[in-house]
Amino acid sequence: MKVHIKHWHAIAQWRWDIGKNDEDDDGEGDVCGICRVPFEGCCPSCKMPGDDCPLIWGECTHVFHMHCLLQWIGTAASKQQCPMDRRPWVTAERKVDAGNPR
15 is a contact residue toward another protein (CB under 8 A)? no
Is there a contact between 39 and 29 (Cβ–Cβ < 8 Å)? no
Site for another protein in 50-89 (CB under 8 A): 68, 71-72, 75, 77-78, 81, 83-84, 86
5 is a contact residue toward another protein (CB under 8 A)? no
Residue in 45, 87, 88, 91 binding another protein, rule: CB under 8 A? 45
Cα 83 from chain centroid?
Answer: 15
Cα 44 from chain centroid?
Answer: 14
Q: Of the two residues 34 and 92, which places its CB atom closer to another protein in the complex? A: 34
47 is a contact residue toward another protein (CB under 8 A)? yes
Report the C-alpha gap between 46 and 66 in whole angstroms. 11
**Element containing residue 57 per DSSP (H, E):** strand 55-57
Is there a contact between 97 and 19 (Cβ–Cβ < 8 Å)? yes
Site residues for another protein per CB under 8 A: 33-37, 43-45, 47-48, 68, 71-72, 75, 77-78, 81, 83-84, 86
